[in-house]
Chains A and B, each alone.
Chain A
Amino acid sequence: MRKVVFIPVFSLAGTPQHHLLELIVEPAELSFTAQPKFHYLQGHGLKAAVQVAKQVIIQLKSKLIFWPSRAPLLYLANPLPGLSNALGAALGIVMSLLMYYGLCRCERLIATGRLNSVTATVEAATDLTAELKSAIALGYQNKLLRFIIPQLVNDDVTVVNRHAELICHLGTLNIRVFPVQTLQEAIAACSS
């Protein structure tokens, strides 16, 4: 029942570094509301992203057909000390919960991008070069690994045009990039 989402992040604390956060979601205690448990994400620089994720999940809750009685518990297997205000992790957090609730039928994926809590649109936090390189660092995957990424890097440039080479390289590693503009597209991509 364990689901894993890899989230590329960038820390400016000390020596600037890129890092691939390993966000794990597992069943926690039995409860009537089954509200997600975010408290293990405290102190790891994800406060703003968690806030956005909470708002999006509240909106989604009424649309969910099946709401399990075991609350999902989220934690980081490899926190990055010094990380702060990582808004680009919001999509990854939401995707992990959707995987837990069965709306996405995969066990692992990579996700990066800001989420607009009102329109549920996915936006890029950076130019995505570092994120794509972080995914390349994972190496070859035996099983297809999906990479959900914002479609637009800037207003008029798509990620496919900007990073065609990197995306092609990822394809050779069995990592398939899915550029998305909305959360609905992200859900469709991870279930495809």
Chain B
Amino acid sequence: MRLFKNKNHEDPRRYVFIPIVKPGSNDVVESSSSSEKLGNNGTADNQLIEVYSQPYLFGDDTDNQAINKDWDRIAAALRKKSRVLFHSGSVATSKVHKLGLKRPRMAFYQWLKPKAWLEQQRLYSDCPKELSEGNSAELGLALVLLMAASGSPYRQVIATGALSGQIQLIRERDVEIQPVNNLVEKFKLVIQQVNNGKPPQNKNLLFFIPKYYDQEKTKRVEVESLPEVQTLRTLGIQVVPIEWLSEAAKKLKADTARYLPQDLIFKWLMIALLVISLSWVSWVGWRDRAISMAFVTANPETLSAEPFLVCFKDKEVHYQRIVREGIVPIVPTTSTLGWQIKIGEASSFDSFLSQWFGYQGYYVAYLIISQFSAPKINRIRIYPDKNWIWSWKLNELEEDNKLILLAQRQPFNLRKLERLVKPPESKTAQVPIDITKIANDIESQFPNGLYFTFKTASKSQCTF
């Protein structure tokens, strides 16, 4: 589950040790007798310099200086120590750019800024003085950039090699590693330094070198043939001859850029956005979900499951069945129409909402539309698990009517309901309203409602 696993808590700094040998130096070990006064356990020009790469630190003014003076920003800090090293750093940056790293999954910031993995790196060195070396530091500087930018499990390596400036027509995105001078002396320097405890020994210490070296400037031979390579291996150093920069990147497991802190921030922002969006969609879906509605009988012995008459005599009330002519229910004028409805189904989810979010049940509305009388609208609220028992006193006109009962999880918009039941503009007092059309319009918007058609007439009465 890579989504929540990131390597940003590790130390982002990576180190490379680069053997630097004075041109023409023949025997490093012999010259090391003067090491005490020269420091760094080597001669003035023969030394194992340490370079590290780490993300840009806020407050480092080197960037401003680099911009003002038209320097490469990634390698600019090296210029304070050595101009030669700065040039090598600049070349290494270009080559790493060319090689490139894959973007990690879910790295949204790097999707926006594809080169952020490299742009944030800065090269630093503790080398004590100006170097006389040419371009053999280029490979080491490229590797330390790749290691730091990818979060490679290898924290430190040794490397010497030059990066080819030739245009590659076959491996267009790769960089060829060129042989360097004084390779044997560099091996001897590393052997000496390792024996002295620098760099710190660990079983994974890799030493990257060019695959070939120029013997007496005429003959190119494989480095593996040198006895010093075997000596280094006996000291626990893994010597890795390479021909292309991509080979080193593969060995260092540096083919994918590391997660940047900005990626983490973007990732959590995206997750939060996703959760909010899903919650909203779920809420809207749940809110608009149809609510089941069904007439229930107020008295199972005498009534069926449909509206009924509410009859009053003195202080007594009783419910009476509505008589029918054919299939049309006939309700006496001036009587009271009653109904009892079961709304929704009690669910654990509703109970959960009620308990944690104060969910108060359903909103219900009833509408009575008549041919001549003005429409009537009323809205109330019903708690979950309660039946909706209600009655309404009818007017005195004989006409066709429709009782429409609606329920939903959000309050009804009164204006919207009024608009729905509003008679057409052309309607006059003598012309009846087409209540079927109005009811159909309402049903198209509230398909789950209950619709009851009845006729008011003076011939039907409450009986006691």
Contacts and interface: CB of A to CB of B under 8 A. Distances in A.
Interface of A: 4, 6, 19-20, 22, 24, 26-30, 39-40, 42-44, 47, 73, 75-81, 138-139, 141
B90 A77 contact: no
Interface stretch (B66-74, B188-196, B251-259): B66-74
| Most interface-central of A6, A30, A47, A77 (chain B CB within 10 A) | A77
Contact of A40 (B97, B164, B166): B97
A141 B167 CA distance: 12
Interface of B: 66-67, 70-73, 87, 90-91, 93-95, 97-98, 112-116, 164-167, 169, 172
A40 B91 CA distance: 11
A138 B72 contact: no
9 nearest A-B residue pairs (beta carbon)? A78-B165, A29-B113, A77-B98, A81-B87, A43-B72, A43-B71, A42-B70, A75-B97, A30-B112
A175 to B, nearest CB: 12
Nearest to A47: B70
B72 A77 contact: no
A44 B90 CA distance: 9
Given A75-B94, A77-B95, A77-B98, A138 B167 contact: yes
B97 A77 contact: yes
B169 A42 contact: no
Given A29-B113, A42-B72, A79-B90, 8 more contacts: A19-B165, A24-B98, A28-B114, A40-B94, A43-B90, A77-B98, A78-B164, A138-B167
B113 A28 contact: yes
Contact of A141 (B95, B112, B169): B169
A27 B114 contact: yes
Contact of B165 (A73, A75, A80): A80
A77 B94 CA distance: 5
Given A77-B98, A80-B165, A29 B112 contact: yes
7 contacts: A4-B172, A6-B167, A24-B97, A40-B93, A40-B94, A75-B97, A78-B165
A77 B165 CA distance: 8
A138 B95 contact: no
A79 B91 contact: yes
A56 B167 CA distance: 28
A134 to B, nearest CB: 10
A32 to B, nearest CB: 12
A75 B95 CA distance: 10
Contacts of B169: 138-139, 141
| Most interface-central of B66, B95, B114, B164 (chain A CB within 10 A) | B114
Contacts of A139: 169
A9 to B, nearest CB: 12
Nearest to A19: B165
Nearest to B76: A43
Contacts of B90: 43-44, 79, 81
B167 A73 contact: no
A146 to B, nearest CB: 15
Contacts of A4: 172
B73 A39 contact: yes
Given A39-B73, A40-B97, A141-B169, A73 B115 contact: yes
B92 to A, nearest CB: 10
A137 to B, nearest CB: 9
